[in-house]
Structure formats: C-alpha cells, structure tokens
Amino acid sequence: MNKKLSFSDKLLQFVLLELEKAPARLFSRHELECCDASAFPRLTDAGLLKRAPYSDPEGRMGFNSEGVPCRVRKIGTEWNLVPTTGDLDEMEPVSTSVLELWRFNLPGFVQIIKQANSLSLPVSEITDRLHYIGEFKTGDANIAVCLGLFSSDTHIERHAGLKMELACDKALLLTPSYEIQVPKLRADFERNGIFCRTFAMAMRTNDLAIDFSDLRAPAPMPETKFVVPPLTTAEQKYRKTYHRRDTIKFTDKKDGARAYIIEVNGGETSLNYPELLVLIRLASQSKQGTLEGWVPVKEMAEAGIVNSEDKKAVGRAVSVILAAMKPYLEKSSVPIIENQRRAGKYRLSTVPTRIKTPDTRWLGNMSAKILKEVVAERSKRIQRISNARAKSRP
C-alpha cells in the first residue's frame, strides 16, 4: 500500500490542503471524483477514505452540469440542485455522488507515515489540528514527529512548548503546505528545537519517507575554531568606516524549498527567502561602495523587499539574520548589522571585500529571482487575511 501512496497524489493533496483549512471537513464523492476519479478507489481501498454517516443535505453547496453554483434543495420528494441566483425552472436533479459524503481517515494516514519511517511509540491525537506520529532516534537525540493541520500562525504558536510536552530533543511538524509566516516566530520555534516542514520540503523521495538529515545531532566542533584572517593592506582603508572583518559568503546551496545556505566565517547557516532578500540588499549596497553601505528602510519597503504596510518588517528580518549568524561571528562590540534608528537605515558593518558571492552578478540575479516569489506569497497571505476578515463580519 505504501508504494502506491505518495504525497504528490493529486487527490491526497487536495484532501490534505482542505483539512488544513478545516480538520473536520467532509467531502462529497462528486468533488473527490472531479479532482481525480482514478485515485478515488485507490484511497478507499487503502482505507483512507470512509463513508461518513448520513446527514441532511438541505442547503449544501454544489455545482450543476454547467458549473453554476447551486444549493441542494428538496422539491417534493426529490433532491435538486437550484442555482443560487435564478429560479426553480433552472434546477436539475442531484446525483447520488453529490449527496454521498466521505471523510478522510487521518489516523490511518498518520499510521502509514509512521510505518514508512519506522518510528517508535504509539500514534495519538494531541488536538484536532495536531497528531503525534512517533519518535525518530539519531545518535543521542530523539526527534518527535507530528502532523500539523495549520492555516495560520495563530494555530501553531499555541504549541511553542511542544518539545517539553513530548519530552524530546527536537520536534518536527509535518504540514501539507503551511509555512510559518512571521520570521521571528519561525526563528523562535527553531531556536527552541521545533521545526515546521511541508511535505515537499521534508520528504525528498515520493514514498512518504522523511529526510531527517538537517535535524540530526550536529557533528562535534573541531578543536581549532575558524580564525578570521587579518585585513590585507588594501582592506585597511575600510577600517575607519567598517569596524568588523567577518567573512560572509553567499552560496548556491539550497536548504529546502525556500531557503539558501550562507557561510559566516566558514560556518554554515541558512536563511529563508524573506530574510535572505534583506541581507542581499544590504550586501549589494555595501559592495557598491556608496552611502557607506547604508540602506533606508523606506527604500526596502518601496522596492517590495518588505511589506510597505509593516513598519517593523525590516527589524524582524534583521533579528532573524543576527540570530542565524551569531554562533559564527567574531566577538565585537559592533553588531554585524548596524542600525541608525532615527534615520531608519541599516547596513552591514563588515569590510565590503569580505562579502563573497558565486559570481559578480549573483546578488542582482538572486534578488530579482526571489523577490518575485516573496511578493507573490505576501500577496496571497494578505488576500487570505482579507477574505478571513470579510467572512467574520456580520
């Protein structure tokens, strides 16, 4: 059964994405077969789709043969689809597939993931949105694995103490598509050993096998730490303006779907797209050699690097960057990212020649590439919030 089932199945994806919005959601056979008719018997044979108890369909939404939104109404003794805008003359009979309801067997799906990864300890439901799958052991670390059905940061921030509750060294929250949106919340969770990963990020293969490589216990640090080389004669001219000498190296190595690895004084860390975009802008200004590397917050907002409506967006991104770099930085009283608070400006405080890239055009090309994705994702998030607010209004 596991060989046939994968997270890329169209019908499985549809069901899981809907459950992120509403964990108790039921599905009509009609909508399931419209999504992927060939997959419907496969999921039922696997025990993942089960008939739900009968419920009165009066008022249930559906679509007629022409794709027009309708409500299910009983006219006489027959059930019919009646357009939400129109009259009874335009109604048509309801097929049994519209009336037939199915539910997704989430405990069964959790059990399949558990078996595919040979996890220990019994599965359990923590809340309707959080299900414990099992425990993975690597070296001297125990990693608790859970399935999370979240659609907003509000849902996940309630579980900040999850690692303590499960008595584990680290916790992995698998989600169908949800990613933590607020950078500081994501950084706080990961700093506390709780990692949120989508199926696409966590399952490198197509058989529900989880890749734990980025969560394994880190290798012991070598006895001799990386030594920051002294400034060259040519670099000495920068010392009056830039007071640090740390090396920041951008790389083409990805860390999941929306993050890249950077090297700080030889130590690797990763940044997600929103924070990486801010760091790239600061690095670009420093490499240009103008304005002493300072970048106004207003400019980053106008360029779409951060949300123009969020006055603290740059500050939060900088906090995440600083936390990621901290373990590898040379000790200094000057922060690696300086801030002129009254002027609303930020800059990198290391010597510009210590900022390394794969090639001379890398910063500009990478900025353009990920800016489109960040802006698109931000627009989707704003629209979701707007729709949610509209639905909540009386």
The three-state DSSP-derived secondary structure of the chain is CCCCCCCCCHHHHHHHHHHHHCCCCCEEHHHHHHHHCCHHHHHHHCCCEEECCCCCCCCCEEECCCCCEEEEEEECCEEEEEECCCCHHHCEECCHHHHCEEEECHHHHHHHHHHHCCCECCCEEEECCEEEEEEEEECCEEEEEEEECCCCHHHHHCCCCHHHHCCCCEEEEEECCCCCCCHHHHHHHHHCCEEEEEHHHHCCCCCCCCCCHHHCCCCCCCCCCCCCCCCCCCHHHHCCCCCECCCEEEEEEECCCCEEEEEECCEEEEEEHHHHHHHHHHHHHHHHCCHHHCEEHHHHHHCCCCCCCCCCHHHHHHHHHHHHHHHHCCCCCCCCEEEECCCCEEEECECHHHEECCCCCHHHHHHHHHHHHHHHHHHHHHHHHHHHHHHHCC
Question: Among the three residues 80, 105, 130, which one is the final residue of a domain in this structure?
Answer: 105
What strands lie across the sheet with 49-51, from one edge to the other?
A: 27-28, 101-104, 49-51
Which structural domain range is residue 283 located in? 237-384
Provide the residue-wise pLDDT of the chain in tens; the chain has 394 residues: 444 577 778 899 999 999 999 999 999 888 898 888 889 998 999 999 999 987 788 888 777 777 788 888 888 888 888 888 766 777 888 877 878 889 999 999 999 999 999 999 999 999 999 999 999 988 768 999 999 999 998 899 888 888 888 888 899 999 999 998 887 788 888 888 899 999 988 886 667 889 887 775 443 434 435 678 889 999 999 988 999 999 999 999 988 778 899 999 988 899 989 999 999 999 999 999 888 999 999 999 999 999 888 888 899 899 999 998 988 999 899 999 999 988 899 999 999 999 999 998 999 999 999 999 888 887 877 776 666 566 555 5
Residues 366 and 246 in one domain: yes
Residues 39 and 68 in one domain: yes
Residues 347 and 241 in one domain: yes
Count of domains for the chain: 3
The amino acid sitting at 348 is: L
Please check whether residue 229 lies inside any domain of the structure.
Answer: no
Please check whether residue 250 lies inside any domain of the structure.
Answer: yes
Residues 68 and 193 in one domain: no
Provide the greatest CA pair distance for the chain.
93
Please check whether residue 222 lies inside any domain of the structure.
Answer: no
Please check whether residue 150 lies inside any domain of the structure.
Answer: yes
Residues 97 and 111 in one domain: no
Residues 162 and 203 in one domain: yes
CB 178 within 8 A of CB 148: yes
The pTM (predicted TM-score) of the whole model is 0.53
Residues 245 and 380 in one domain: yes
- pLDDT of amino acid 226: 65
Residues 246 and 371 in one domain: yes
Please check whether residue 224 lies inside any domain of the structure.
Answer: no
Give the separation between CA 383 and CA 377, rounded to whole angstroms.
10
Residues 208 and 256 in one domain: no
CB 32 within 8 A of CB 40: yes
Please check whether residue 2 lies inside any domain of the structure.
Answer: no
Q: Which residues pair with 263 in a beta bridge?
A: 249, 268
- pLDDT of amino acid 225: 53
Please check whether residue 4 lies inside any domain of the structure.
Answer: no
- pLDDT of amino acid 241: 92
- pLDDT of amino acid 390: 64
CB 332 within 8 A of CB 325: no
Residues 299 and 357 in one domain: yes
Of 214, 337, 193, 346, the residue nearest 269 (C-alpha):
214
- pLDDT of amino acid 90: 78
Residues 80 and 196 in one domain: no
Please check whether residue 82 lies inside any domain of the structure.
Answer: yes
Question: Among the three residues 181, 214, 247, which one is the final residue of a domain in this structure?
Answer: 214
Question: Among the three residues 54, 78, 105, which one is the final residue of a domain in this structure?
Answer: 105
Residues 242 and 378 in one domain: yes
